[in-house]
Amino acid sequence: NAGVTQTPKFRVLKTGQSMTLLCAQDMNHEYMYWYRQDPGMGLRLIHYSVGEGTTAKGEVPDGYNVSRLKKQNFLLGLESAAPSQTSVYFCASRVARDGTDTQYFGPGTRLTVL
Amino acid sequence: GIQVEQSPPDLILQEGANSTLRCNFSDSVNNLQWFHQNPWGQLINLFYIPSGTKQNGRLSATTVATERYSLLYISSSQTTDSGVYFCAVEGTGRRALTFGSGTRLQVQP
């Protein structure tokens, strides 16, 4: 099991450029999430998905779009990057079964927008 | 939305010392998890504990849901315990965790 993987690990963009971050999980989890973490802060929810073909907005969705065409993949898109989107982005998947609930995180993508 | 407050924001310990981290939340929750973010940024789930007490080695956690707080205990701390500890909660009817701002722990040898 690779768990939750994220591609790429690092990226530098210029203002106005677009990009897509890929999150993949091989644990057959229904729920997936995208968070951003700014220096010295906690994680803020951008978008999430409760199953293939579904998406929902989190706390800070503006400037981002997502798609969940396959259960194992959750894509985060930036259509026109801004310096305020410089952050570390974490993807997570989650499973609730047998009386427990566990969220697994990917290693993160460090994005810098110049 | 639900508010999550963690205290203290920063904590420095000598190796071998014990510590208690606190998480207060503003509304009823059906899910509470504790995470550790190591110095390299990796986030690991420590506990799922919407109520009651759990223990895992030197770590234990207690949630008193009726009083809206949770405590994470670290005993006999080691340098590898360093990092940031996050509490995250999910309100009734929600499907996503809200994270606190974390407690940054530094364990010195």
What is the tens place of the pLDDT at every residue in A70-87?
999 999 999 999 999 999
Contact assessment for residue A68 and residue A32, using Cβ atoms and an 8 Å cutoff: yes
Q: Which residues in chain A touch residue B98, judged by CB atoms under 8 angstroms apart?
A: 45, 59
Nearest-5° Cα angle at A92, A90 to A93: 170
Task: With a cut of 90, say whether residue A30 has pLDDT above it.
Answer: yes
Q: What would the two tokens of residue B98 be?
A: 């809200």
pLDDT, tens digit (0-9, with 9 covering 90-100), for B44-84: 999 999 999 999 999 999 999 999 999 999 999 999 999 99
Only one residue has tokens 């500890």, namely B85
Contact assessment for residue A55 and residue A31, using Cβ atoms and an 8 Å cutoff: no
- Given pLDDT bands bounded at 50, 70 and 90, which one contains residue B93? confident
Nearest-5° Cα angle at B27, B2 to B83: 60
Alpha carbon A54 to chain centroid, angstroms? 14
Contact assessment for residue A6 and residue B41, using Cβ atoms and an 8 Å cutoff: no
Peptide bond into A61 cis (omega under 30): no
Contact assessment for residue B52 and residue B29, using Cβ atoms and an 8 Å cutoff: no
Task: With a cut of 90, say whether residue A1 has pLDDT above it.
Answer: no
How far apart are the CA of A94 and the nearest CA of chain B, in angstroms? 10
- Given pLDDT bands bounded at 50, 70 and 90, which one contains residue B92? confident
For chain B, report the end-to-end CA distance as a whole number of angstroms: 40
Task: With a cut of 80, say whether residue A2 has pLDDT above it.
Answer: no
pLDDT, tens digit (0-9, with 9 covering 90-100), for A51-110: 999 999 999 999 999 999 999 999 999 999 999 999 999 999 998 888 888 999 999 999
State the best of A94, A98, A104 to mutate against chain B, taking most chain B CBs within 10 Å: A94
pLDDT of residue B33: 97
- On whether any CB of chain B is under 8 Å from the CB of A102, the answer is yes
HSE of B63 in the Cβ direction (CA atoms, 13 Å)?
A: 22
Average confidence (pLDDT) over B16-39: 96
pLDDT of residue A96: 85
Give the count of beta carbons closer than 10 Å to the beta carbon of residue A46: 24
Give the count of beta carbons closer than 10 Å to the beta carbon of residue A31: 20
